[in-house]
Structure 1
């Protein structure tokens, strides 16, 4: 009997080998062992969603102006690491339809939720996209909106999951996926008891950012359902080995 597929998310694509969050980075990741993509989005001043982690282009394009203050034409004029274009969200959805994705709406601006979800719905992406945001106010708006796809826990929900009694946290949490680091401040999240709690509550346990094969092996032995990595080619053999073991159970 085949077990549920372990997700290997390419964190911002294969971002150690290509400009992060570029179409090239996503394409390379999928050819090198990733079976899912992770990305971030911001909104331009004229209402387009672009795939970018930072709120401005200083680090990757040498332009410190905030994306929210610029129109799409200006942002499209940037060259990531000197050559790659900043893709729009719609371009990524069109390029990789059906590919599992986690898309993080970065701004703490709940008013962006409705147009963001409309972009996803126009592509039928509720079947394969998990909507994420650290900001609880943003995720509350996602849940109010009627989005029928998967959602990740906000940062606040992760804390509730870790520190509150299980029955209480289960009533308070709205998402289906715990996308988590190894630790959140003093709270360790890489323990079998925590992963088991996630699974009892029907939650995925997907860890970021895992670039060490030994760490990947340890987390998968604990029962993690997925990993996010900057270098999926390095982590893919570990995931494949664990998938074979789980399929035999």
Structure 2
């Protein structure tokens, strides 16, 4: 979740979509972070000398920018090339981290950086409650006002695992594109299984799902061609996460998946090349 990683994905590996999790800081800024706390993402424990969880919601953007968000990155050879980039207490630490594009990044900065491209975004609101609603409000303003002229309304899909936030989005920002919630995905699968598709009134634009799911003591294969075909008949994009195996990528592409989310865009590029797409 740094510009070093984003730029590599966009310009080196030519991805079409960035998938981001968003968390709200204490001063009301949305930053890209997989987790609500950052201990596993940067050198916060080394800097502060404690293993106490450091939550994004309890700190300002400028406080977060004191940390090296490349410190925990491990490459395919097992190396951590940015671990020792800066030391705790080093003079000019924040500036050096920024120069190497390893600072925490805001969603506004991301939109600004790629506004003139055709890049699309899948964003997940990680906070619930009041902070989750504030995050939704902020996203709506960025998408429909600040970056409206760059077509963000057709480039950004919003998701959340929180029922309260999903309801808030549907009631207040029905015009924003939304990924199916857990409940909506379950309904989609079950109506397909029992042949009552006609009663499904889904309002989401994409299914963002794993390849299988467990429910009611059973394991469901979510890659069945019937699911994909039914989604496509309703103009719903089928998007699988998180796929880091090349053969599985190729299988899903052949089945008609629209999007494959991966931690390894280089591997996905290889899969596309082997299938003759590049």
Alignment of 1:152-231 (within 5 A): 152-164=179-191, 165-168=196-199, 170-171=200-201, 173-185=202-214, 186-231=219-264
Report the Cα distance in structure 2 between the residues aligned to 1:26 and 1:149, rounded to whole angstroms.
24
TM-score by length of 2: 0.75
Alignment check: 8 A CA contact 1:206 1:224 kept: yes
Offset of 1:25 from its aligned partner?
0.8
Q: Quick check: 1:42–1:106 contact (8 Å CA) kept in 2?
A: yes
Kindly indicate which of the two structures has a greater share of residues assigned to strand: 1
Cα-to-partner distance string for 1:52-88 (whole Å, 9 max, x where unaligned): 1101111012352211111121112221133511001
Report the equivalent of 2:103. Answer: 85
CA–CA distance in structure 1, aligned partners of residues 139 and 223 of structure 2: 32
CA RMSD of aligned residues (A): 1.9
The runs of at least 4 consecutive aligned structure 1 residues that moved more than 4 Å come to 240-245
Whether 1:23 aligns to 2:7 is: no
Asked whether 1:115 is paired with 2:138, we answer yes
Q: Distance in 1 between matches of 2:276 and 2:21?
A: 27
Cα separation, partners in 2 of 1:199 and 1:33, compared to 1, 3 Å: same
Q: Which residue of 2 aligns with 1:103?
A: 123
Q: Secondary structure at the match of 1:56?
A: coil
> Please, what TM-score do these two structures have when normalized by structure 1?
0.83
SS in structure 1 of the partner of residue 21 of structure 2 = strand
**Cα distance in 2 between the residues matched to 1:100 and 1:237:** 21
Q: Would the alpha carbon gap of residues 243 and 144 (structure 1) be closer, same or farther in structure 2, given more than 3 Å must change?
A: farther
Alignment of 1:35 onto 2:2: no
In the aligned structure 2, how far is the partner of 1:226 from the partner of 1:158?
Answer: 16
Out of 87, 94, 119, the position equivalent to 2:112 is 94
- Structure of greater Rg: 2
Q: Answer 1 or 2: higher relative contact order, Cα 8 Å, separation at least 6.
A: 1
Alignment partners' CA distance in 1, 2:56 and 2:143? 20
Q: What SS does structure 2 have at the residue aligned with 1:236?
A: helix
Gaps of 5+ in 1: 1-20
Q: For structure 2, which runs of at least 5 residues remain unmatched after alignment?
A: 46-52, 72-96
> Does the Cα contact within 8 Å between 1:23 and 1:87 map onto a contact in 2?
yes
Which segment is superposed worse, 75-84 or 204-213? 75-84
